[in-house]
Amino acid sequence: MSKRRRLPPGAKWVTLPSGARRVEIVTDAGMNPATGKRRQVRRRFESEAEATKAYARMSSDVSAGVFTTRSTKTVEVVCRDWLAGRRVRPSTLANYADVLKPVRAAHGAMPVQRIEKAHVDALVTSLAAGGLSMSNGRPRRPWSPRSLNLMLTVLQMVLEDAMRQGWVVRNVAHLVDRVPQVKHEMETFTEAEVHKLLKAAESDRIEAAWHLALSGLRRGEVCGLTWADVDLGAGELRVRHTRILVDGVVIESTPKTAKGERALPLPDSLTRVLKRARKRQNEDRLRLGVDYLEGGYVVADEGGSPMHPETLGLAWGRLLDRAGVRPLRLHDARHTCGTLMHLRGVPVAVIAAWLGHTDAAFTMRTYVHSQDDALRSAASVLDVVTSA
C-alpha cells in the first residue's frame, strides 16, 4: 500500500512476461497537433523515483505545449513528407529539394528528435568550405552565403512543420546564425551598349529573342512566347506561357505570379523585328514542308522547335562577344530594361506592371539601379546648383 500511495497519479506496478516489475504511467499528453484529438502516453520505469521524475517533466511539457511523443521518424522521412505536401510551382519545389540534399545526405538516417543545432552548424561550415560531396564523394565548390541561407530557411520551414505535428520540441534551424551576405551592386547595360547589342543581333536568326529580353521578359517568357500571344495588328504582346528548366527537364508553365501574366504594347522597333521573325519562319516552313514542326513559338530553330532555355543562354554569350560588350547575364537584360525606363522618367508603378511584379517597392529595390552616366548627370545638376 505504501508503494501505491507514493506513485504518481495514473501509475501502477505491472509485471512483464519476463517476470520483471515496472512502474507504468498512463497520462494525458494534451492535444495532438496533427489530428486535433487528445492523446494518451504509456511509459514504464524501473523505479518509483524514475516514474515520479518523468511524470513531473511530462506534465510540465504538456502544460507548456512542448510535449512530444517518442518517434523514430528520421530527418529523411520528415524532409520527404514535407516536400510531398508542398503546393507550389514545380520549379519552386525543385529548388526546395535541391537545397535540402546536403541535409538529407549528412543526417537523413538520424531520428529528427536527435538533430541539434551543432549538427546544422557543422553542415553549414562544411558546405561553406567546399571539399567533397557527401552524396557521391566528388569535389564540389563552396556554397555561397545566399545558398547557405536558403538551405537554413527551407530547413527551418521543415522543422517548423515537424513542431506543429509534435515530432520535435524546438526548431534548431531557427537557432543557427545566418551567413553574412555582401550585397553586390547590380550591373546593367547602358543605352549605348543596348544599341551595340541590337546591332550585333541583326544577323542572328533569333534576333527577336534579344529584343524581347531587353524589353524585360524573363528567359522562360522569351522561350514560351507563341505567335498566338502576339497581335501585330493591334500592336500588343501577351505574356501567358513560360518554358523553364526543372531538374534538367523543360516544362511548360505559367508566369510566376498573377501579375506576371500581362499584356504589353509593342514598341515599333519590336514590331518590325517580330515581323522579320515571322517572315523567316514562313520561309523555313516552305523549305522544309512536312518536316517543319508547327510549334507556334516566336523563338524557334530552323525546324520550328522551341528554343531550349540553356541553348538561349549559350547563344546570349556568343552575342555579347560579337557585340563587344560586358559579359552580363541574360537576366541582367531584364534589369537593364527596368533601369533604363527609370532613368528615362517612367513611374515605378508602370515599370512594375511592365515587368510583371506584384510589388512596386520590390521593383524599385531589386530591378532599378543607378548608372555612371546618370551619376555624371546628377553631378552636373549639382554643379549648377552650387555654382549659382
Point out the least confidently predicted range of 26-30, 256-260, 266-270.
26-30
Q: Which residue has the higher pLDDT, 237 or 30?
A: 237
C-alpha cell at 284: 523555313
Residue 299 near residue 309 (C-beta atoms within 8 A):
no
Contact 243, 220 (CB under 8 A): yes
Could you read off the pLDDT of 335-359 as tens digits, one per residue?
Answer: 999 988 888 888 888 888 999 888 8
What are the pLDDT digits (tens) for 32-67? 555 566 666 667 777 888 777 777 776 766 665 555
Would strands 11-15 and 21-31 be described as parallel, antiparallel, or unpaired? antiparallel
Tracing cell 541590337 back to the chain, one arrives at 198
Mean pLDDT of 69-92: 88
* Paired strand residues for 292: none
Q: What pLDDT score was predicted for residue 383? A: 43
Average pLDDT, the chain: 85
Using an 8 Å Cβ cutoff, are 168 and 162 in contact? yes
- Dihedral sign of CA atoms 212, 214, 216, 220 in order: positive
User: What's the pLDDT at 308?
Assistant: 94
Mean pLDDT to the nearest integer, 194-207: 94
Considering only residues 53 and 296, tell me which one the structure prediction assigns the higher pLDDT.
296
Which of 104-118, 129-143, 252-266 has the highest average model confidence (pLDDT)?
104-118
Instruction: Identify the sign of the CA torsion 257, 261, 264, 269.
Output: positive
Mean pLDDT throughout 152-179?
90
- Among 62-76, 77-91, 330-344, 365-379, whose mean pLDDT is lowest? 365-379
Residue 204 has pLDDT above 80, yes or no: yes
Cα gap 130→126, rounded to integer Å: 6
How many angstroms separate the CA atoms of 63 and 61, rounded? 5
Q: How far, in Å, are 186, 371, 380, 388 from residue 384 at the CA level?
A: 29, 20, 6, 6
Q: Which three cell numbers stand for residue 36?
A: 486535433
Closest CA to 196 of 315, 323, 317: 323
- Calpha distance 232→141 (Å, rounded): 47
What pLDDT shows up at residue 304? 93
Cβ proximity of 72 and 100 under 8 Å: no
- Residues 110-122, mean pLDDT to the nearest whole number: 93
User: What number of other Cβ atoms are within 10 A of residue 1's Cβ?
Assistant: 5
The least confident of 178-182, 184-188, 307-311, 330-334 is: 184-188
What domains can be seen in the chain, in order of their start residue? 2-64 (no CATH), 75-175 (1.10.150.130), 191-325 (1.10.443.10)
Using 50, 70 and 90 to split pLDDT, how confident is the model at 373? low
CB 152 within 8 A of CB 120: yes
pLDDT > 70: percent of the chain: 84
Q: Outline where 137-243 has alpha helix (H).
A: 145-164, 191-201, 207-214, 219-224
d(CA 157, CA 166): 14
Provide the pLDDT for residue 231. 95
Predicted local distance difference test score (pLDDT) of residue 3: 44
Instruction: Provide the whole-model pTM.
Output: 0.70
Predicted local distance difference test score (pLDDT) of residue 29: 62
Q: How confident is the model at residue 370 (pLDDT cuts 50, 70, 90)?
A: low
CA distance 296 to 56: 71
